[in-house]
Chains A and B, each alone.
Chain A
């Protein structure tokens, strides 16, 4: 991790934490504004290269890619109001390794619709080809809807998704560790290429996987990719505390961030891990202006772009669980009640699970809309998440630093609302202010993503799963 010569003491004697920053490629949800004139392609490689180069110019820790394995549908039809379509994660990250030198490359890869041998090969290969910059955001799913695109279909009961994810990750670690790193001698004179004919040998017998053989990718620069976890459930937190190097969380407000931070870091001791072995990195959005007032105006404009009338109706359907297309987004909320029970209108969307009691939500929203005289669209704009950081570069830099120093996070994964230039202004205006404060690197101190994140190489720990055979 970089140190700075301009460190200034804070009010307490606690040393200033160094902030970690990452760039999230804009996703396939309504945070991303595709309708603006400056909104570029979401699929051409040039857009990915632009964001990655901006992030590297700003000395960010890594770039982050999300993934979903089936196009979203609502009411049995492919959802058409947000950005649709994205590239294959591994392929685009490997290509980005060619146009960057230091930036970490984090890919979201599903543990349900993949097999450990193949995923371990891909991450080990990416780590080799990027010189030690690979990271894996382990996500789970169980739904038969996504399963329709895969050999196994919807084979996994919901309650087993974390046990599969845990065993998947354990198995992948056994594969990564099946090469120690000293096997390849390649002595041209004696003709010995491998020191050990058993290099890569592994055996894994478990509930989810019963596999054995030899892994065919030699140990990569980082040993194992950096592991991210993204779920906020109790099971997800426990999974992260036991197995992850970083959490991609959604708590970008100060108090809830602090509560989450305390909770998860408090679970580490149970697994014999230190506080600095798990980083908490919430997703955060931002709107910058020359002044705070200008930023607030811009932020409202962006919210209107993000929530069109059609998007507001679709959002309401998540709660109502019924077709609301006949309603006017500029009119009052529906007088009919939501259909209770399993949500059938927005298949394959994790977000609908946040509405545990749709009848109560509908009642509360109706009351709020009536009290403030809000239309459907205005209510959705007010209800759904506003940007995390709004203000002048100085305000945003100050706020981010306060969050991190107050242990609400260890940094942020920034989600620009525009592709590909949505991070440019942040890189040019906010990052220098953080650097001046001595809380963000001015140069990369190391070459691997583990170096950037201050994480130990796994060889510093006891290798886990090298099976005898």
Chain B
């Protein structure tokens, strides 16, 4: 791979090939997805289920999959447990799922969710570095925070007061959410510094002097922040990609903190505009934060998140959505726009949004067993026909697939 600095423009030309990721979660994103005949709800906690999903995504030449995670049971409520028994509850650790499928795949990127709020940046840094080793350069992470009081209770190290969606603009809640997101930015900073804490050529195996490493090429990171201080270096050598992919989902908020996290820390930001006007506004807002963070012109992909129901006719997709809503007992809605239609219609929409500055999309299949193959076997060929998607994998690493150069080591640069 080229080591020159990336020339990915801040806003990709409207003809640039799209990047596509798929977000994996349980049986799919619709709460009644598990009730579809094509779903395999009894297999959700087996390796084979996840291996099949990722193999299907790789068959479609997708850039990467993300894997959802949380430190508590899923809930349909904003921050509280919901006590429901009619939806999928329970999940496996996302990093371990990614590691389990890594040796079974060859090209696709693996991007598990990691929760920064109660966990150790030292552990996560070496875990993702190791995922990069076991996948030979295809690892990333999606950083997430949690403001759920019940999840704080699982750790017993801090108390998070309960609040509701309507409280988001209260000063105390603004302070809490900003603090959680700023902690996550520090967390990513530590994770990244630990990845760089070994220079690439630190292992020398010099038999003459008996030295296995050149210790001058290992670096203390000496990070001190509000929530943690971390000495370093990592126990794990610098991973194959140098810096595995960092991504985060961000919604518009008056504090600007979510966009600031993406602008300061991420290689890929997931955003949730519902139309082209919102897309333009979101892209402008993140780019402004990027400038403010001193990263002007540095590569930062912005992916649009969409929930998708894909069928051969628009009516079939809408019928399926209605049927699932009826099974769930309510009309499913979330942060992201819900698309129902044909693969060709979705291709139209993605290309339209690309013109507003989105360089890729993270699709959330409503029903994984149905909509994931519809993406790989319907949408992907449609985009290929339009010259908007790759026809084969042409890079060996996730950064390579996304046109991101392998970064220089910050510590090596300082001592060179």
B218 & A192 in contact (Cβ 8 Å cutoff):
no
Q: Is the CB of B235 within 8 A of A86?
A: yes
Q: Encode contact with A along B222-235: 1 for CB under 8 Å, 0 otherwise.
A: 00000111111101
Of the stretches B15-23, B125-133, B386-394, the one at the interface is: B125-133
Nearest A-chain residue to B152, judged by Cβ = A213
Residue A344 is within 8 A (CB to CB) of chain B in the complex:
no
B92 touches A129 (CB 8 A): yes
The reply to whether A88 and B85 form a contact with Cβ atoms under 8 Å apart is: no
A468 at interface by CB-CB < 8 Å: no
Task: Contact check, A191 vs B99: say whether CB atoms are below 8 A apart.
Answer: no
Name B213's contact: one of A44, A80, A200 (CB within 8 Å): A80
Interface residues in B193-224 (C-beta closer than 8 Å to A) = 198, 203, 205, 207, 209-215, 218
Cβ of A459 under 8 Å from chain B: no
| Contact (A188, B218) CB under 8 Å given A44-B133, A131-B47, A211-B154 | no
Q: Is A302 an interface residue (CB 8 A)?
A: no
By the criterion CB–CB under 8 Å, are A82 and B212 in contact? yes
For B85, give its contact among A44, A91, A194, A211 (CB under 8 Å). Answer: A194
Question: In the complex, A118→B70 CA distance in Å?
Answer: 11
B residues in contact with A114, CB < 8 Å: 120, 123
Q: How far is the CA of A200 from the CA of B35 in the complex (A)?
A: 23
Q: Contact string, A6-49, partner B, CB cutoff 8 A, digits 1/0?
A: 00000000000000000000000000001100000001110001
The complex places the Cα of A91 from the Cα of B103 at a distance, in Å, of 12
| Pair A97/B47 contact, Cβ less than 8 Å | yes
Q: How far is the CB of B141 from chain A (nearest CB, A)?
A: 12
Considering the complex, which residues of chain B in the window 229-288 have a beta carbon less than 8 Å from any beta carbon of chain A? 229-233, 235-237
CB of A113 within 8 A of chain B? Answer: yes
A188 and B96 within 8 A (CB): no
Cβ contact within 8 Å between A70 and B97: no
Report chain A residues within 8 Å CB of B51.
Answer: 98
Pick the interface stretch among B38-46, B168-176, B349-357: B38-46
A355 at interface (Cβ–Cβ under 8 A)? no
Contact partner of A188 (CB less than 8 A), chosen from B39, B100, B205, is B39
Which of A86, A94, A124 is the one whose CB lies under 8 Å from B100?
A: A94
Inter-chain contacts of B95 with A (CB < 8 A): 90-91, 94
B40-89 CB contacts (< 8 Å) to partner A: 41-42, 45-47, 51, 70-74, 81, 83-89
Closest to A202 in B: B154
For B209, list chain A residues within 8 Å (CB): 310
Is B157 an interface residue, CB under 8 A from the partner?
yes
- With A80-B214, A128-B45, A211-B154 already in contact, the answer to whether A90 and B96 are too (CB < 8 A) is yes
Report yes or no: B90 in contact with A199, Cβ–Cβ below 8 A. yes
Q: A94-B96, A117-B155, A216-B90 are in contact. Are A188 and B235 (CB under 8 A)?
A: no
Binary CB contact string for chain A from 62 to 91 against chain B (1 if under 8 A, 0 otherwise): 000001111100000110111111111011
A115 contacts partner chain B, Cβ-Cβ < 8 Å: yes
List of B residues within 8 angstroms of A384 by Cβ:
none
- Flag A112-135 by CB within 8 Å of B: 1 or 0 each: 011101100110111011110000
Q: Are A88 and B83 in contact (CB under 8 A)?
A: no
Interfacial chain B residues near A83, Cβ < 8 Å: 212
Residue B179 CB within 8 A of the other chain: no
B193 to A: closest C-beta gap in Å: 12
A179–chain B nearest beta-carbon distance, Å: 8
Which listed residue (B35, B85, B130) contacts A196, Cβ 8 A? B85
The answer to whether A91 touches B34, judged by C-beta atoms less than 8 angstroms apart, is: no
Find out whether the CB atom of B71 lies under 8 angstroms from the CB atom of A117. yes
Interchain CB contact (< 8 A) of A149 among B90, B122, B157, B327: B122
Instruction: Give the docked Cα–Cα distance between A77 and B219 (Å).
Output: 11
Which chain B residue has the least Cβ–Cβ distance from A115? B155
Q: Is the CB of B120 within 8 A of A150?
A: yes
- Bound-state Cα–Cα, A131 to B43, Å: 12
> Does any Cβ of B come within 8 Å of A327's Cβ?
no
Shortest beta-carbon distance, B401 to chain A, in Å?
Answer: 20
Q: Mark A188-216, 1 if CB is under 8 A from B, else 0.
A: 10011111110110000000011111101
Question: Does B297 sit at the interface, judged by CB under 8 A?
Answer: no
Q: Is the CB of A209 within 8 A of B212?
A: no
In the bound complex, residues from chain B placing their C-beta under 8 Å from that of A84 are: 203, 212-213, 218
Give 4 closest A-B pairs by Cβ, nearest first.
Answer: A186-B41, A148-B231, A95-B134, A94-B99
**Which A residues have a C-beta under 8 Å from some C-beta of B?**
34-35, 43-45, 49, 67-71, 77-78, 80-88, 90-92, 94-95, 97-99, 113-115, 117-118, 121-122, 124-126, 128-131, 148-151, 153, 179, 184, 186, 188, 191-197, 199-200, 209-214, 216-218, 308-311
